[in-house]
Structure 1
């Protein structure tokens, strides 16, 4: 099998290969095909150039490093002792550090709010998706702003709210596009997700007034806080040093480690707090307000929470900091999101992240439940709820258990906002209702309302009235200790013409016998806890004219007072 020159270069150490090329050029290049003369390939830590006819080291140095004097460095790198003509097709190694730099750029790939920028020439404006930034641009985000930039090598720079960042160096090497990036953090925080720089010998640094963090491919955060500069490494390694110290000290932070750099020096390495723990019950949200809660830990002084469209948390939609372990976000449409939660320790270092996929399905919103609630003492079970403006129907469920596995009623297509059923046995029950709307021509079943628990108790019921000696009517009904009552007697079935409206502490009433006529009677109870029952079923009585003696006493017969009927 014949190998191409690039393949051979990967298999033979470069310094050894150069020696072979000079010692036995006929053997190496006659038996192996060379790349086209004048072409080059990226072979870190060098660029490999294939010589043209008549090339010399000084000509190559001038052409690719812009300094003729660099021919001596090339000579040492390639074991060539003098600046003589090089055979056509010879592989010449050019260290990447010698290549000149050219301008690079950063592009806005995700943003929230209204991030602003100030270009190197002093022009200002607001950023938008797709905006391109050049070296020297300064970016600021407000309370609700967030921005993610992409570099040509697919590195990412995320700038959260209340931050100010300058792209102080945004360049790349000519010919090989090896990145040369410096980000200066003036305020707030910056998170960098850097593509590996090992292969291209690139550089990526985050600078502050106190520290420099340099990487070779990693995911890390740098923040400005009251005590100094916070460095937090999520992946890879970061070399940090105190930029203001006369004697340069350097410390390498590995994954899961962090430290604080202050004016007094480089702080000790500490373990970042582990990812917070959260119940999976928060992964499906059925109310418009997103709510989360994590387990408390004594080491956490606060939390940072972000909502994003992607699991890498590049396209951030909202973020906030909290002192407590409960978090809320409003204003989101139904859909799929990702939440990232980190705990912040007492030094101000942000810990390792918890990232979870979250689904919001809160619409169509359920109606408000009206009845029953808490208790029922009625002869029938009446359900009622408010009307939803976009509803085409409702789904009612009534069960013996809160999980709704033991269903007694399951009505998936009710058109009205009420439903009546037979009264079940005394005991505890649960009910809920959902809205069904028409979305894009299809039935859209929304989440259920909050579960309503209630207790069915013995119904309040009137016993038939007792006329006693004929001059009085006596009413009584079943009761429980501590109850109070309202009894109403009306001359019409709608209870608009009340004959009596009386509150009682006992479950009985005695009144003088009213005049002959038709009357309607009902009673309701109030429990000691304030629960007010529905009125009992209305009872109707008809009192006929009676014969009385001279003292007003009803004339009796074997069947009772003469002339009475009720």
Structure 2
């Protein structure tokens, strides 16, 4: 989908110049090369190309042939310490500075993408980009809200274009004979991140331009973004010099060197001072394995951060970005991910809008098959037997039950991992506090697939009473519970069909528990969704199924018991 909102940019004229303290002098009086080659051949010897003369060669002839300009013979003379344009002996090594070589067309290739980024070529053709697509000079690329793109240049440099951005590949060329890259990217909207291979030795050039500024580098990792305040510049490695060109004619531009870890804002008032980029956020290792469908992350608070940018990708280099979002708080949530391995990148954003250093972590999501809802026991047990029950999980072939004396399940009292039913009865343990949890086992690719355990349920084994006190339901109620967090609200639905078109119950709750009178015999389906205090609404949980069997009751509705329990029921 092409972005349609109008592009508004301030008319600020700003110039960035790479500090050429890193570059090599163009016309240094280097010693003659010791390289040998066949007459008429050439080799790349950065910062020059070495050509081996043939019979009849002169500096002017060589200059015309390889630089397209005869007058360049004087530059070749200085570089090779030859005073005049006389005949050169066969096989003589002649150094030709790479800066003098003419340019020819180059290209870039789409190596990673998400969504449907679009392009418009120089010839007017347009369409959607795809992996492996080769783009050339003059192509304009647009990403929408869910689109991300990474291009690879001929020297393995990378251009990453995040969502809601628009760039034009204004120049994609390379030097003839040696292939030294000459790249110019026009940023029209949004942001661009560049990871540029070193261009110092091969005299290559890489520039990111807007109608406000130009940033030229010879090997660095930096970000440039267009925002309401002007241009945001963030240098992660290498160095970039920035200069304001709006000064009066003849007045020296204001200049500022941005080294690694520094950033600034260029605005209509001038070149902002260099400031330290915020450090990479800190996150607990507990978030590296996630066992619920909603991916959740939380970083330690940073008083200097006003927001955070979070990206989920398939690779550690964050080239194939699956989604991203900006959050004001230090807690982040993402839905819609299948189980698998991912990478998360988190940056803190300061009050000026500058992004800091990134935190990148590998994350494993193993949330399926989802655990069943626990039914009983709840809170306390006053019975001769310890009975466990849970809902039926979709595609389950077995269930894994654990009972322990501690919430960390280091001291197991009971463990069963091949339960075929949705209930289990065991001997009553000694009085005290206990913990239990249940997991679903399915079949995947011919092998057992063990899902994560449910949230831990605590119960107390209390003295047996012969008659339940009034108000406890006398077995005429069902109770359901699910994982919750402080302040959440819930919508729970029970239906007589799996499509939830025939609702038996739909209720909003402030607590993660539902108690209802035992319904008539039959099959029911249950699902729940949560709403966080911040307004975040989760998708519905996986549907669970419960079966209520017919049973005999007395006149007051209480179950008729035999020595084996209530007659005609599995609860």
Q: TM-score range by the shorter chain?
A: 0.7 to 0.9
User: Who is 1:110 aligned against?
Assistant: 112
- Please tell me whether residue 294 in structure 1 is matched to residue 296 in structure 2: no
Q: Which runs of 5+ in 2 are unaligned?
A: 1-26, 477-549
Q: Greater Rg, structure 1 or structure 2? A: 1
SS at match of 2:324: strand
User: Who is 2:133 aligned against?
Assistant: 131
| 1:431 pairs with one of 436, 441, 445 | 436
- Please tell me whether residue 15 in structure 1 is matched to residue 29 in structure 2: yes
| 1:77 pairs with one of 71, 76, 79 | 79
Q: CA deviation at 1:136?
A: 1.2
Alignment of 1:262-341 (within 5 A): 262-341=267-346
Q: CA deviation at 1:286?
A: 1.2
Distance 1:520 1:434, change over 3 A: closer
Deviations 1:20-60 (A, max 9, x none): x9xxxxxxxxxx77211111122222111111111111110
Q: Give the CA RMSD over aligned residues.
A: 2.5
SS at match of 1:81: coil
SS at match of 1:47: strand
Asked whether the equivalents of residues 488 and 501 of structure 1 are also in contact (C-alpha less than 8 Å), the reply is: no
User: Who is 1:372 aligned against?
Assistant: 377
In the alignment, the residues of structure 1 paired with residue 473 and residue 170 of structure 2 have an alpha-carbon distance, to the nearest angstrom, of 81
| 1:40 pairs with one of 32, 36, 42 | 42
User: Who is 2:178 aligned against?
Assistant: 176
Asked whether the equivalents of residues 553 and 560 of structure 2 are also in contact (C-alpha less than 8 Å), the reply is: no
Greater RCO, 1 or 2 (C-alpha within 8 Å, sep 6+): 2
Larger relative helix fraction: 1
Matched residue pairs, number?
A: 464
- Please tell me whether residue 408 in structure 1 is matched to residue 410 in structure 2: no
User: Who is 2:553 aligned against?
Assistant: 496
Q: CA deviation at 1:131?
A: 0.8
| 1:354 pairs with one of 355, 359, 374 | 359
Q: CA deviation at 1:78?
A: 1.3
Q: CA deviation at 1:496?
A: 3.3
Asked whether the equivalents of residues 203 and 215 of structure 1 are also in contact (C-alpha less than 8 Å), the reply is: yes
In the alignment, the residues of structure 2 paired with residue 460 and residue 198 of structure 1 have an alpha-carbon distance, to the nearest angstrom, of 85
Q: Normalised by the size of structure 2, how large is the TM-score? A: 0.77
In the alignment, the residues of structure 2 paired with residue 394 and residue 285 of structure 1 have an alpha-carbon distance, to the nearest angstrom, of 20
Asked whether the equivalents of residues 28 and 79 of structure 2 are also in contact (C-alpha less than 8 Å), the reply is: no
Q: Normalised by the size of structure 1, how large is the TM-score? A: 0.78
Q: CA deviation at 1:487?
A: 7.1
Distance 1:48 1:457, change over 3 A: same
In the alignment, the residues of structure 1 paired with residue 333 and residue 561 of structure 2 have an alpha-carbon distance, to the nearest angstrom, of 52
Distance 1:487 1:145, change over 3 A: closer
Asked whether the equivalents of residues 35 and 93 of structure 2 are also in contact (C-alpha less than 8 Å), the reply is: no
Asked whether the equivalents of residues 340 and 354 of structure 1 are also in contact (C-alpha less than 8 Å), the reply is: yes
| 2:54 pairs with one of 8, 28, 52 | 52
Q: Which runs of 5+ in 1 are unaligned?
A: 1-12, 22-31, 463-476, 503-518, 523-535, 540-566
Asked whether the equivalents of residues 29 and 78 of structure 2 are also in contact (C-alpha less than 8 Å), the reply is: no
User: Who is 1:445 aligned against?
Assistant: 450
Distance 1:487 1:276, change over 3 A: closer
SS at match of 1:391: coil
Asked whether the equivalents of residues 424 and 456 of structure 1 are also in contact (C-alpha less than 8 Å), the reply is: yes
- Please tell me whether residue 419 in structure 1 is matched to residue 424 in structure 2: yes
Deviations 1:152-193 (A, max 9, x none): 000000000011111111111111111111111111110000
Asked whether the equivalents of residues 30 and 79 of structure 2 are also in contact (C-alpha less than 8 Å), the reply is: no
Alignment of 1:86-101 (within 5 A): 86-101=88-103
Asked whether the equivalents of residues 216 and 238 of structure 1 are also in contact (C-alpha less than 8 Å), the reply is: no
Distance 1:439 1:205, change over 3 A: same
Deviations 1:347-402 (A, max 9, x none): 00000000111111122222222222233333322111111222111111011111
Q: CA deviation at 1:90?
A: 0.7
Range 315-324 or range 377-386, more displaced: 377-386
Deviations 1:296-336 (A, max 9, x none): 11111000111111111111111111111111122222221
Distance 1:521 1:337, change over 3 A: closer
Asked whether the equivalents of residues 300 and 345 of structure 1 are also in contact (C-alpha less than 8 Å), the reply is: yes
Q: CA deviation at 1:15?
A: 3.2
Distance 1:40 1:220, change over 3 A: same
In the alignment, the residues of structure 2 paired with residue 70 and residue 410 of structure 1 have an alpha-carbon distance, to the nearest angstrom, of 85
Q: CA deviation at 1:237?
A: 1.2
Q: CA deviation at 1:256?
A: 0.8
SS at match of 2:73: helix
Q: CA deviation at 1:458?
A: 3.0
Range 56-65 or range 246-255, more displaced: 246-255
Asked whether the equivalents of residues 435 and 457 of structure 2 are also in contact (C-alpha less than 8 Å), the reply is: yes
